[in-house]
Amino acid sequence: MRAMMKCSVEDEEQMRRAAELKSLAYGTVEREAASLLALSHRISDHPEIGLQEVHAAAWLLEAVRTVPGVRTEAGLAGMPTSFVAEIGTGELVVTLCAEYDALPGVGHGCGHNIIAAAAVGAFLALAPMAEALDATFRLLGTPAEENEGGKIRLLQAGAFEGTHLAMMVHPGPIDEASMNPYASAVVEARFTGREAHASLAPHEGVNALDALTIALTAIGLARQQLAPGQQIHGTVVDGGGAPNIIPGTTAGLWMIRATDLTSLHEVRERLENCLRGGALAAGCEVYISHDELAYHDLRIDRPLTELYLDNARSVGRNPSGVAARGGSTDMGNISQVFPSIHPMIGLGDAGLVLHTREFAKAARGPEGDRAALDGARLLSGVAIDACVDSVHRNRLISRAMPDPESTDE
């Protein structure tokens, strides 16, 4: 009985302390609201694609360098638009991930302006309490999520070293406990034949477009037998030149997806067989190249997700369960190594579709602003809970890998 009473008193004290610190953190977000929303709008108004986010990275660094005692470094992992900002020297290391790359043609149709503002806001809110929480707060500027796997490069370069939990929020149509992405990779194939005059001497040529056409047909037929959760989609990047010349070279680019890496390898083998079959049938050579930075599926840390859900409800949001399977993210790779969360913070319209101009417009509108500020509050709230609650803190410090019982495959 005494042990139960002691535990109860300890729990109540931890809850009281967490509530006080969250009040301070939320106060900081409120004071910084105008500058955070200005940052979100500026990034939205000046979209920059992956590895070209020169202005966005500079704006984020400018914002966090206002923190007394902050340590910053830019150009990590050979990417000029990456950076790290760190405050504190405490035992528990919390890494906040900021994305800020845009999509070609549709700008911030994935709402990365919200992700950036929320991460910066959380960092500013947590920074003054790093010593009190015996924590180290790290903000990582992670470029090129859409096209180059910036987080994977940072992971390989050691930028996540020492992390006990990694977090970010991603905008979506509605509030959801977590994104549920596919593992994915990119495959490129270039077919080489021999050019010839299409009228005078077509028999002298070896048609690389025939090889690509046969490969595309084989891929289309193969889709019927793909396992659930396996996907192949692609595009022609070189279809030949003038119509009166037998094409000597053609090329295609494909993205493959699957529920996990094992399944992804099966899809890749199926795709490559189709590509080789096209080359064989047309008498061409084919060179197949792989994206070395394959995106992994996301391992969902359930205890941290529950903390996020509790905090979300406290600010008037009511996330549904895990999102339907879809999309891919390099945050999946981080989640395979460190306990992580990747919740979806809603823009209040279930009809919105990511990667569209309509979504980009909403991400800069009133609901996007609300998501950016709530995202900052929720990330800081989860971090405070993880630092203050002894059960969560001890679990995270004792292991960098998520507990298998705490994950969804």
CATH of domain 10-181+296-406: 3.40.630.10
**pLDDT, average across residues 40-61:** 98
Structure tokens at 236: 């022609």
Name which of 224, 287, 206 is nearest 252 in CA terms.
Answer: 287
Burial 213-239 (b: 16+ CB within 10 A, else e): bbbbebbeebeeebeebbbbebeeebe
Name which of 37, 60, 58, 189 is nearest 114 in CA terms.
Answer: 37
pLDDT(311) > 70: yes
Residues 6+ away with beta carbon under 8 Å from 77: 150, 153, 154, 156, 157, 159
What does the pLDDT read at residue 4? 46
CA 6 to chain CA centroid, Å, is 42
pLDDT(6) > 70: no
**pLDDT, average across residues 329-335:** 97
Domain range list for the chain: 10-181+296-406, 183-290
pLDDT(315) > 70: yes
* Neighbour tally for 288: CB within 10 Å: 14
pLDDT in tens, 382-391: 999 999 999 9
What does the pLDDT read at residue 291? 79
**pLDDT, average across residues 22-43:** 98
HSE of 19, CA atoms in CB hemisphere, 13 A? 7
Decide if 135 contacts 94 (C-beta within 8 A). yes
What does the pLDDT read at residue 403? 45
CATH architecture for residues 183-290: 2-Layer Sandwich (3.30)
What does the pLDDT read at residue 147? 84
Structure tokens at 308: 């996020």
Which of these ranges, 145-149, 261-265, 399-403, has the smallest mean pLDDT?
399-403
What does the pLDDT read at residue 405? 39
User: If you search the block for the tokens 């990779």, which residue do you land on?
Assistant: 185
| pLDDT band at 404; cut points 50, 70, 90 | very low
Decide if 402 contacts 296 (C-beta within 8 A). no
Name which of 340, 341, 342, 380 is nearest 127 in CA terms.
Answer: 380
**pLDDT, average across residues 200-222:** 97
More confident residue, 11 or 333: 333
Average pLDDT, the chain: 95
**pLDDT, average across residues 23-35:** 98
What does the pLDDT read at residue 7? 60
Q: What percent of the chain has pLDDT over 90?
A: 93
**pLDDT, average across residues 155-164:** 98
pLDDT in tens, 71-92: 999 999 999 999 999 999 999 9
Structure tokens at 88: 């504190």
pTM of the model: 0.91
**pLDDT, average across residues 84-108:** 97
In Å, what is the CA distance from 375 to each residue of 174, 284, 310?
A: 13, 53, 13
pLDDT(2) > 60: no
Which of these ranges, 2-11, 190-199, 227-236, has the smallest mean pLDDT?
2-11
Strand partners, 136: 93
pLDDT(407) > 70: no
pLDDT(225) > 80: yes
pLDDT(200) > 70: yes
pLDDT in tens, 340-365: 999 999 999 999 999 999 999 999 99
In sequence order, which ranges of 191-258 are alpha helices (DSSP H)? 208-222
pLDDT(408) > 60: no
